[in-house]
Structure 1
Amino acid sequence: MRTSTTMPPLQALRAFEAVGRLLSFRRAGEELLITQSAVSHHIKQLEEMLGVRLFIRKAKSIELTPEGAAYLERTVEAFRIIAGATSEMRRQTARQRVRVSVLPSFAANWLVSRLADFMLKHPEIEVELEPTLRLEDFASDYADLAIRFGTGRWEGVRAEWLMNEEMSPVVSPALYDDGTRFAEPKELLLQTLLESWNPVGWELWLGEVGVDIRRARVLQLTDYNIVLQAALNGQGVAIGRMHMVRDHLAAGRLLQPFPQIVRSEKIAYWLVMPQNRRLRPGAEAFASWLKEEAASPPSPVC
């Protein structure tokens, strides 16, 4: 590599900056892990190239010349700029981590199967899922964003609509094997109706078909994953969230006894974000990808 006629060697500049800051050849050598004589050689090389003295050598000390002081100020500034640019480049190229607070049922039945696509498109971003039922308040700064189910009206956060859910009863084939058949919706009142903590799904669907939910025997379970498992075990009839049960229907693990499907603004998935904080670039990329996935038409149930 050819030596520049306008740029001094980096080793000489580093030695000059250390000596100028510490005002000691010995201490500069200790900091740079080189000998004192090597430091002296670098300073001499720099002075010869510049054609000016940088230090005044005294018996037991040194001090900067006026030219040396001016040159040191610009050298320190240059090193600061290089260090800042290096730090910024490392920050941009480092693997980013996005923490997503998500409903366990949404993670297991919709999100996880799609994550491979995001990882393929964004190999520099690592996604960490936190399955939880509580609404993230973002005060702890743990989660970057959250995915929730409901009306989207939550205080202290910003919610963007992802997609509406569709509701229809689903049941295990095991109930049919027991001789159970549903000729009309009111016969559901003879069964245990499975729902998570908020029975709005059954309320909307039964209201649509003209059945009074107050006459039904509803078993409320903590999480929709538990609702699905109970339905798969033949313990009752679940109100099917069609985005969540699509694979079960396609595989024949669950059946949809009635064609009626209810859609309502009360049953939607939302992307929840901090109200007064911008998303980091990785979280912004994940949010954009998630909205694209939610807008994609679901594959038909075969």
Structure 2
Amino acid sequence: MAKRLPSLNVLNVFEAAARHLSFKKAAEELHISPPAVSHQIKVLEAQLGAVLFRRLNRALELTPDGEQYFQEVQGALLQLHLATDRLIEKQQPSVFRISSIPFITNSMLIPNIQSFKDEHPDLRIEIQSQVHRANFKEEQIDVAIRHIKGNEPELHYEELSPVLISPICTRAYWQNHQPNNRTTLDHHRIIRLSVDPNSWSLWQREWGINSLPNDELSLDNYQAVLDSVVQGLGLAMGYLPALKTLLQTEKLMLPFPDQITEFGQLHLVYLKSEMNNPQIQSFQIWLKQVISDISDK
């Protein structure tokens, strides 16, 4: 009986050709030539003693025998793939993938992630620090940390914390540049995060700051912005509560501590179908506690 069983390679070729009803498309999927697909099908038909395809002028059809064989082979191959995947996954640690805004990665996740890892020693954690919004299905993301809420019907947005904004600088910088008129910042340099075009204008409107200086430095990542502020190069927009720890060290200060503006919400995002996933729920509880601890400092 075993000698009559076609090879797995031939069955994969047949399944692709039957699914596409095209030798050409099957060849493209399998990265072989169309003549190679045709040859494999002829070998299979000779081995089985049955005609599987009707070869028409510009089309391909399954015969009744071919249709029945396709349904059974496709199901069997699927079971083989699933069995193989389960076995491989069993041998490997589970992976928990987090997509996060770079600034949140640096200020919240990296300093605290070891405590989450200690709670889940068998979990391999991967953090993708990126500005663009992750595609959950294509990138196999478990959770994402986002500032702006989308309207994707398949995603759940869990509110974590309000995002608050106010300018930041070093104490030395502020002592040297305190304006006599607090409604203008004409004598300062503004250090902007290029991917955030809205925070300065929002803060400016709310607190009646009439003008911003022409002297600006624009940078494309927030760590570079912070480094520039620490070097005393100017004023940057600060985001709370993520900056709370850095402000506690007194490296930086809020020159306008009474002028703080709400700037949306920080969200933990995941697929609605995964709402009862214990790993996601555990991470959500952990992250909320981290934010609470930072906010209470």
- Class of the TM-score when normalised by the shorter of the 2 chains: 0.5 to 0.7
- Which has the higher Rg, Structure 1 or Structure 2? 1
Q: Which shows bigger deviation, 268-277 or 224-233?
A: 268-277
Equivalent residues of 2:102, 2:131 under 8 A apart: yes
- Structure 1 residues 278 and 165 mapped into 2: Cα distance closer, same or farther (>3 Å)? closer
C-alpha distance in 1 between matches for 2:251 and 2:105: 19
Matched, 1:272 2:284: no
Equivalences for 1:197-216 in 2 at 5 Å? 197-212=195-210
**Equivalent position amino acid for 1:167 in 2:** I
Deviations 1:137-174 (A, max 9, x none): 21314321111123x13546432211112211111234
Residues 200, 133 of structure 1: alpha-carbon distance in 2 compared, 3 angstrom cutoff: same
On the 8 A contact 2:159/2:268 being kept in 1, the answer is: yes
CA distance in structure 1 between the aligned counterparts of 2:198 and 2:284, rounded to whole angstroms: 27
User: Aligned-residue CA RMSD in angstroms?
Assistant: 3.1
Alignment of 1:1-302 (within 5 A): 95-150=93-148, 152-155=149-152, 157-176=155-174, 179-196=176-193, 197-212=195-210, 217-264=215-262, 266-274=263-271, 280-296=277-293, 298-300=295-297
Give a deviation string over 1:176-197, Cα, whole Å, max 9, x none. Answer: 46x2223443342322222322
- Runs of 4+ aligned residues of structure 1 deviating over 6 Å after TM superposition are none
Q: Distance in 2 between matches of 1:235 and 1:181?
A: 14
- Cα distance, 1:282 vs. partner? 2.5
Instruction: With the length of structure 1 as denominator, give the TM-score of the two structures.
Output: 0.60
Identity over aligned pairs, percent: 22
Q: Is the CA contact (8 Å cut-off) linking 1:104 and 1:132 kept in structure 2?
A: yes
Q: Given that residues 190 and 236 in structure 2 are in contact (C-alpha distance below 8 angstroms), is that contact kept between their aligned partners in structure 1?
A: yes
Shift of 1:276: 5.3
Take 1:267 and 1:122, find their aligned partners in 2: how far apart are those partners?
Answer: 31
Residues 185 and 206 (structure 1 numbering): CA distance in 2 closer, same or farther, change over 3 Å?
farther
What is the alpha-carbon distance in structure 2 between the residues aligned to residue 184 and residue 292 of structure 1? 40
Please give the per-residue CA displacement for 1:263-299, whole angstroms capped at 9, x wherever unaligned.
42x4321112235555744233223322343345623
Given that 2:145 and 2:269 are in contact with CA atoms closer than 8 Å, whether structure 1 keeps it comes out as yes
Question: 1:247–1:120: structure 2 CA closer, same or farther, 3 Å change rule?
Answer: same
Does the 8 Å contact 1:208/1:262 carry over to 2? no
Quick one: which amino acid aligns to residue 185 of structure 2? L
Q: Is the 8 A contact 2:228 2:234 kept in 1?
A: yes
Q: How many residues align?
A: 212
CA distance in structure 2 between the partners assigned to 1:242 and 1:168 by the alignment: 8
- Worse-superposed segment, 97-106 or 277-286: 277-286
Change (3 A) 1:281 1:213: farther
